[in-house]
Structure 1
Amino acid sequence: MTETQPQTNAGTVPLEAAPAHEAAKDTGHPRLRQIAAFEHQVTGVAVAGDGRIFLNFPRWTEDAPISVGVLTSDGSVQPYPDNAWNSWRNAKRDELSPNDHWVCAQAMLCDRQGNLWVLDPGAPAQSFVVPDAPKLVRIDLSTNKVVQIIAFGPDVAPQGSYLNDIRVTPDGRYGFITESGVKGALVVVDLQSGQARRFLDGHYSTQMDVNVVVHADGKPLRRPDGRGVEFSADGIALSRDGQYLYWQAVKGRTLYRIHTDLLIDASLDDERLAAAVEKQLEHGPADGLHIDRNGKLYITAVEEHAVKVWDGKHLETLIREPGLRWPDTFAEGPDGSIYLTDSRIPDMPWFKPGQPAAVPSSLLMI
């Protein structure tokens, strides 16, 4: 496809995985199958209407050779949309323009209009925001070409921010983004004009809960300097009719929502929006959220190695698998299949000094 080497599987992967080309491996759990394994840390996944699976590998602990890719039939990952977009290297940042390269792609979504949206917070290692790097990029899936770049300035992505995940309204008009940095917030984007604004900045619903300590394997997950998991508004979901937006901080236990009509009304200030935030559910730390075609909300319960499902009344554990190290992000396929990335955050050298910079990860199907 291109001259860049494919990003293939290697090393230790969760669930005692076979090589990635052995697609849809049965893990022994009746509801969980491994689709592919990678030698680099994956976060986002998106599935197109034609079944193509797209993945992104943020530059958290290493200069990953591919930041956005498409999964091939043999389980390898090829750069997408091309080599040029994937040619950024942190060590060579002075030689490349950050606005038209993947600097630290974090999340992605296939919309109902035949586009792949890729969110790039532009902050390698979730640290310094590279000027002109934060952006939302639209790729036409029929041509595999970038057709729109929405750049975010310091008013939307200031230093200390980390744009984390995105949802797009059914009509393709608006995008909603969580910002999980030091001071969490939500962002609404007019996808036609490219205008974006930050809201609920510093509101309790978008912030880390100081009373919550995120655990892994029953122990507080901390760095050597004592810092724990410090992600603010992270997981995000949109109701199928586009009327309600849901979100939660990873370092938190509460799910919130708001009516999207309020978010797209630029005349409303944060005080009015804050008054409209609704508390929905208390459970525990979570990363990824997704509402499926049947209206059920999927939640990654990161402390429990689990996936839970909430129907608006009852919260049930769908899967609990010890080998599921950090269930991260969901995507839904055209046939209704639910895909899930395992980013293995507890195994990062941030939390386990001496570990290799490259963190093996996997893609699963529920």
Structure 2
Amino acid sequence: MNANCNLPAGSFSSKTVPLRFLVHALPDMKSPRILSMMALQVVAALAVSVSARDSSSGSVVTFQHPADTVLRTDNGTYGPEVEEFHYYYDQFPIGLAVSSKGRLFACYTRGSYSYTLGEAVNKTAEAPYPSAALNLPVAQLNTTFNTIPFGSANSTHLISVQAIYITPSTPNRPETLWALDTGRPSIVAADGSPTMPYAQPGGPKLVAISLANDSIYATYTFPASVHFPASYMNDLRFDLRPTTTASGQGVAYIADSSNEGRNGFIVVDLGSRACWRRLTNHPSVLRVYDNVPSYQGRAFYVRQAGGMPVGYLREGLDGIQISPCGRRLYYSPLTSPYLYSVPTANLLVPPEDDPLVELMAAGNVSTHGQRGGFANGFEGDSQGWVYQLMPEQNAIYYFDPADLQVHTFVRDPRIIWPDSAAVGEDGYFYMNINQLPYQPMWNDGVDGRVKPGAVLRAKIPNGGSKITGLG
């Protein structure tokens, strides 16, 4: 039996390697000068190792800094320079959007936060948007029916905005900030465990805000047959071209990522206000069972307060991105290594118009293979690149339809859970960083996040910019 099997948990066996062994192990070099230099490197490394001892355990520290080793190391970076653009000191963000004039907007899932949609007023602060009065007060976020908690049914005020997106001005509408309100705030139960009330009609909604006068000009709500009580709307994209729908007002595609319900797409005709579901519970939109990701080199499990059992991330369909031509929608669950797409033609037909539309959509789902990890949100640019936010890799990858491969755009140790992104008309890629794996809801009620959160940005190569042709 290996003697190490008898060691207590957390203990390790180590042996001192004689210097003569290391010298003899050097390659058979004919140059005395090379041999001498390598021997000196070994001696120097040993000196560093021996001199750097952990006073508490006496173990030898063999690596502290890249300067202490002759080995190749990973510095954690790749791609263009990453700039720190904005800092969040009050509330940790979820979504962001950047207007054509450089205005920065952010949204925040509600618990105790005082507002759920804001605009940056300087580099380190935001203010409620479009006004504090339109952000529903915390005391009114939820209610109870027969002891079952439900989110507010308020359709005129913002409850908990999960995602935002900006579309350019068109002949039919102004430059618009679209806010996706889940209607499901996070609350703390009597036993101290976090919970999310069910949605009720009126609360979940899509809100259109004119950036010309900062006012709401349209609100879309959903019937219970399309948005279920356990639904959770996560992200959205648009095709506002007049030829896209019979109404001539365009369409919104919304991802339902619920970790407790039925995943799939919600499609909204912005002119007729009709809405329907597509690919509900199709294998391509479902989570991987009991996925265990790794963040900052540590295996991750969800640990909730209140004596809840150890759990897993359960979100299904998460990131979505429409192609510049509007003919294909890319997507994936949060807990899947695969990238999928479906022709938008299979999403645009209302179910009452063709009894085969669901079968056709399911039959036309394409798999683009694995991307090298799990992805959170998506974004796209005018080149057709499909950006995927990779929280395990502290990176942003992109799928290039031109070569059918996934590539790394940028990687940086500061990218600790990129939660959402926006490509600006200025040619920059903006991303929200919110340290989500350290939030109290996933860590026994302990908040391990360190302020500030941040917006980082990097310049897109090849002149890539925001997709405006769908506006």
Normalising TM by the smaller chain, what interval?
Answer: 0.7 to 0.9
2:392 maps to 303
For residues 112-159 of structure 1, give each alpha carbon's deviation from its aligned partner in whole angstroms, at most 9, with x where no partner exists. 231111101111137223322100000111111101110123222212
Are 1:185 and 2:264 an aligned pair?
Answer: yes
Which whole-Å CA distance do the structure 2 matches of 1:214 and 1:28 have between them? 22
Are 1:109 and 2:165 an aligned pair?
Answer: yes
Shift, 1:92, TM fit: 5.8
Given that residues 47 and 54 in structure 1 are in contact (C-alpha distance below 8 angstroms), is that contact kept between their aligned partners in structure 2? yes
For residues 324-351 of structure 1, give each alpha carbon's deviation from its aligned partner in whole angstroms, at most 9, with x where no partner exists. 2101111111212111011221111122
The range that moved more, 171-180 or 268-277, is: 268-277
Residue number among 276, 286, 289 corresponding to 1:207 in the alignment: 286
Given that residues 177 and 186 in structure 1 are in contact (C-alpha distance below 8 angstroms), is that contact kept between their aligned partners in structure 2? yes
- RMSD over equivalenced CA pairs, Å: 2.3
Given that residues 106 and 165 in structure 1 are in contact (C-alpha distance below 8 angstroms), is that contact kept between their aligned partners in structure 2? yes
Residue number among 113, 127, 149 corresponding to 1:78 in the alignment: 127
State the AA in 2 paired with 1:120: D
Given that residues 98 and 130 in structure 1 are in contact (C-alpha distance below 8 angstroms), is that contact kept between their aligned partners in structure 2? no
Are 1:277 and 2:358 an aligned pair?
Answer: no
Which whole-Å CA distance do the structure 2 matches of 1:152 and 1:357 have between them? 36
1:237 maps to 321
2:423 maps to 332
Tell me the matched-pair count. 338
Which whole-Å CA distance do the structure 2 matches of 1:324 and 1:348 have between them? 16
Given that residues 118 and 129 in structure 2 are in contact (C-alpha distance below 8 angstroms), is that contact kept between their aligned partners in structure 1? yes
State the AA in 2 paired with 1:215: S
Are 1:164 and 2:225 an aligned pair?
Answer: no
Which whole-Å CA distance do the structure 2 matches of 1:292 and 1:55 have between them? 20
Q: Any unmatched runs of 5+ in structure 2?
A: 1-76, 144-150, 170-174, 187-194, 242-248, 304-308, 459-471
Given that residues 40 and 359 in structure 1 are in contact (C-alpha distance below 8 angstroms), is that contact kept between their aligned partners in structure 2? no
Which whole-Å CA distance do the structure 2 matches of 1:331 and 1:295 have between them? 14
Which whole-Å CA distance do the structure 1 matches of 2:312 and 2:230 have between them? 16
SS of the equivalent of 1:100 reads coil
Are 1:343 and 2:393 an aligned pair?
Answer: no
Given that residues 140 and 152 in structure 2 are in contact (C-alpha distance below 8 angstroms), is that contact kept between their aligned partners in structure 1? no
Are 1:43 and 2:94 an aligned pair?
Answer: yes
Given that residues 116 and 128 in structure 2 are in contact (C-alpha distance below 8 angstroms), is that contact kept between their aligned partners in structure 1? yes
Shift, 1:184, TM fit: 1.0
For residues 262-289 of structure 1, give each alpha carbon's deviation from its aligned partner in whole angstroms, at most 9, with x where no partner exists. 2111134322211111111312210111
Which whole-Å CA distance do the structure 2 matches of 1:200 and 1:314 have between them? 25
2:189 maps to none
1:9 maps to none
Given that residues 88 and 101 in structure 1 are in contact (C-alpha distance below 8 angstroms), is that contact kept between their aligned partners in structure 2? no
The range that moved more, 317-326 or 240-249, is: 317-326
Which whole-Å CA distance do the structure 1 matches of 2:116 and 2:140 have between them? 15
Given that residues 57 and 66 in structure 1 are in contact (C-alpha distance below 8 angstroms), is that contact kept between their aligned partners in structure 2? yes
State the AA in 2 paired with 1:204: P
Given that residues 176 and 188 in structure 1 are in contact (C-alpha distance below 8 angstroms), is that contact kept between their aligned partners in structure 2? yes
Given that residues 231 and 257 in structure 2 are in contact (C-alpha distance below 8 angstroms), is that contact kept between their aligned partners in structure 1? yes
Higher relative contact order (CA 8 A, sep 6+): 1
Moved over 3 A (4+): 27-30, 90-97, 356-360
State the AA in 1 paired with 2:114: P
Which whole-Å CA distance do the structure 2 matches of 1:88 and 1:216 have between them? 34
Residue 90 to residue 179, structure 1, CA distance change in 2 (3 Å) = farther
Residue 30 to residue 311, structure 1, CA distance change in 2 (3 Å) = closer
The range that moved more, 27-36 or 308-317, is: 27-36
Q: Structure 1 length as normaliser, TM-score?
A: 0.86
Shift, 1:67, TM fit: 0.6
Q: Any unmatched runs of 5+ in structure 1?
A: 1-26
